[in-house]
Amino acid sequence: MPLPRNKKNATKKRNRETALVPSSYVHRIDGAEGWEKVVDLLCEYFKIPNLNSRFGLKRVHSTFDAIWDRLDAAYTKYATNLRIRGGIVGIYAKMCPDAVLRNRLFKLGVLSRILPLLHESCTHHLALQALSSLAHHATCEIHLELAKLTPILVQLLEEYSDNPAFSPLIVTILCHCLAPIQEHVTSDVEYDPTSQAQVLRTLDMNRVLKQITRQMQKRTTSYFLLSHCTSLLLTSALPSCKAILANPSSLNFFIAGLRSLHWQNRGAFLSAVLRLFLVGAEEDTIRMFDPRLSMARKRLPDHLERILADYGFPRSEQSAILSVGSQIQSAMFRVMRDRDLCRLGQELAGLIMRSAFFPDGICEVADRKQLDVSLPFTRSAESLPRCAQALRQRGGPHDLDNADVLEIRYNLLNNRLLNAAGIAEKGLARNSEMSYFFYAIERSQDNTDALRSAKKGLKCKQITPFLRLELLYSAAENAAALGLGILEESSATTAVEKWEEGIAFIMSAWKDSKTFIAEAPPDNRHLSDMLYWHILLTIVIRGPDMSADLKEIKPFLQKLSDADDFRKYLFGIPICKTQLRRAQEAVVTNFAAAIAEWDNAILWINSTDHLREIPPAFECFHNEFMTQSFKEDLELNDGCMNNTSNTNMDSAHQHSHQHSHGQKTTSAHPNVNTNNVVLYECSWCGNPSAVLRKCSGCGKARYCDASCQKLHWSTKHKTECKV
């Protein structure tokens, strides 16, 4: 069949011919001023539709293969003519805002056409503009390939660090390709098997972050550039934590950011500081330490004795542990004589709710043979299910509650949290005033449910000082985690209600930690953790009003020093470098220095002057390769085009793009009124939530669920509600 073959050959011949740019065009191209003129001349010769309109890009879609063949053949033909090659790359750059065209160009190897131009001084800027266009809202595959260019880009940044046309382009390319891939990398980069981690392991992030922070510290740095750098630093906090800690300026930027005017920034920076110290954090060994060993230690120093005396030694945690341990031992000796398991069960249930410590010793008497025959257990912990069974058989008014407490404690001792929670759920159906049931349930739940259980438990009538402190600790810790998570995930499009919910969680955590610190014995095991949280949350809440010398938290820093001393002399074990400990130390130690170094940058972030900003280096790019009307046209996104982001970038980063494109925007960091926090707290238990139900009578009271509403109604709200 000769005709189809001849036709195919004719097509190839025409493509080769069109690749030959007439000498008249070559002369015009060589004499053209600016790359935009070169691009126009090449588009005119190759009959490429208008790339500044949607209609033109639609036509490109239909003839893309032919256009690529012609341009690529010309690129190869004129290997020594940088003007023609640069103009062709400029055409590719104008196609990249269309996601479909950009992805097709990438698969055909457009990156290999751009890279040679990076090494030519006359095409440096053009190549960087093309890479920037390719990187914006790109796929993960494109980000990975661009990330491999990091050494080249960093070298260019070092050479042209003071060039206002080059450095912003390089920084934004680095931010666009490195930030997304770091979001998908675990904390242990060395052993992470993902492709992102494999690329990240090959990069010298120390060198990258050094150049990034250098650009941020310039007085001429724009908000546009600063937001890009911030985005990269925030996403680097976990996978590149070693590089950040090796660069004190990066760490100081996070710490200085805690004084930002905007809640979202403060929440994001604190979360980043916490992530920085996740790798290498130690587990707190005090939770596994046998408190009985501390009783045999030498006398406490005078200042600790005075602190205990002022608080009341009988109310101290060590005194409670001594008392509970002694009473459990006495009860065990008694049951060997009277064999009354119900009495033992009642005593143990009461003691369990007074302390987290339960001595699991061997039950011994002089005549072991008598013990082996008469008692169905040999250890203290083994007595719990046996006593629970006896109480259930007797079935008195409080026997079932006590039996549940014993079985819950037995399951907790054996780390069967779900079994303990299941027993507690059944117990609540019978008695909703037992705080121990809520304590057991929150141990097995995630942040949201654990916070709700802790708040409900704090409102119970049947609560001991030990349980109150345990529930306060859980409530503060979970509320802090939830609040920081909400603030960090918020963006320019987030509803104000969501911001206020996040702040409600933060305020709830702050109040509960403050209450814990006020009520807890000075030798309490959790006191240090609560002080860590309270110090950090106080700084976040006060924000720009926090003084550089941290005078507002001096009393809590002294309490922390005392808590460390108690740990040292009571338990004789070193202070563990936990994640919270390291984060708190870093913030407190470097706070003044961080403010001195980064105060100007933080003030710039706080200001609203950037709302009118269009960075000069990018203004040239937009004017040269993309008209404003075309940008707005692209964002209408009519089906054949896809201009949406494939990755979740930092909201400040997105915010800066909106301003640079000249769009009407709202602040990405609204000043939320903290007085509205009460609108997101349950009127009965105080649990923060955005899905509270309103009282149908007054419309003001809000509740987690029907049980909270019923309890509030019966105790207080009945007389207040305007029915």
pLDDT at residue 236, as a whole number: 94
When pLDDT is cut at 50, 70 and 90, the band that residue 661 belongs to is very low
Using 50, 70 and 90 to split pLDDT, how confident is the model at 690?
low
pLDDT for the residue numbered 712? 86
Lowest mean pLDDT among 346-350, 359-363, 614-618: 614-618
What whole-number distance in Å separates Cα of residue 217 and Cα of residue 626?
30
Maximum CA extent, the chain: 115
Mean pLDDT of 212-226: 88
pLDDT band at 227 (very low <50, low <70, confident <90, very high): confident
Alpha carbon separation from 112 to 16, 101, 604 (Å, rounded) = 21, 16, 39
Burial bucket for residue 564 (CB in 10 Å: 0-12, 13-18, 19+): middle
* Tally of helices (H runs) and strands (E runs) in the chain: 38, 2
Q: What is the pLDDT of residue 672?
A: 43
- The whole-angstrom separation of Cα 322 and Cα 563 is 20
pLDDT of residue 704: 84
pLDDT value of position 19: 54
Quick one: which of 19, 15, 14 has its CA closest to 78? 19
CA distances from 676 to 538, 585, 685, 702 (A): 18, 32, 17, 13
Q: For residue range 271-291, what is the model confidence (pLDDT) as tens digits?
A: 999 999 999 999 887 666 666
Q: What does pTM read for this prediction? A: 0.83
The predicted pLDDT at position 601 comes to: 84
Q: Which of 17-21, 254-258, 315-319, 551-555 comes out lowest in average pLDDT?
A: 17-21
- Check whether 268 has a pLDDT greater than 80: yes
Q: State pLDDT tens for residues 586-635.
A: 999 999 999 999 988 887 777 655 444 444 433 343 344 443 333 333 33
532 or 621: which leads in pLDDT? 532
- Identity of the amino acid at 380: S
pLDDT band (50, 70, 90) for residue 501: confident
* 536 has a pLDDT exceeding 60: yes
Task: Tell whether the model's pLDDT for residue 361 goes beyond 90.
Answer: no
* Token pair for 479: 């509320």
Out of 133-147, 297-311, 361-375, pick the least confident: 361-375
Whether residue 492 has pLDDT greater than 70? no
- The confidence score (pLDDT) of residue 394 equals 85
**AA identity, residue 255:** I
The pair of structure tokens assigned to 217 is: 């510290």
Using the structure block, give the residue that is written with the tokens 């870093």.
586
653 or 517: which carries more pLDDT confidence?
Answer: 517
128-142, 332-346, 480-494, 590-604: range with lowest mean pLDDT: 480-494
Residues near 331 by beta carbon (within 8 Å), at least 6 away in sequence: 344, 347, 348, 351
Q: In angstroms, what CA-CA distances link 516 with 107, 198, 475, 480, 520?
A: 59, 45, 10, 14, 6
Which residue, among 237, 336, 305, 324, has the nearest Cα to 579 in the 3D structure? 237
Write down the H helix ranges in 46-194: 54-62, 64-77, 82-95, 99-107, 110-118, 124-135, 140-147, 150-159, 167-183
Least confident of 118-127, 481-490, 634-643: 634-643
Query: Beta partners for 694?
Result: 702
pLDDT at 106 over 70: yes
Taking CA atoms, 60 is separated from 35, 38, 75, 628, in Å, by 21, 19, 19, 20
Which domains, from first to last, does the chain contain? 13-137 (no CATH), 140-282+582-626 (1.25.10), 680-719 (no CATH)
Give residue-wise pLDDT tens across range 17-44. 455 667 767 778 877 778 888 888 898 8
The mean pLDDT value of the chain amounts to 82
Please report, to the nearest 10 degrees, the dihedral formed by the alpha carbons of residues 363, 368, 370, 375 taken in order.
Answer: 30
Contacts of 696 (CB under 8 A, 6+ apart): none
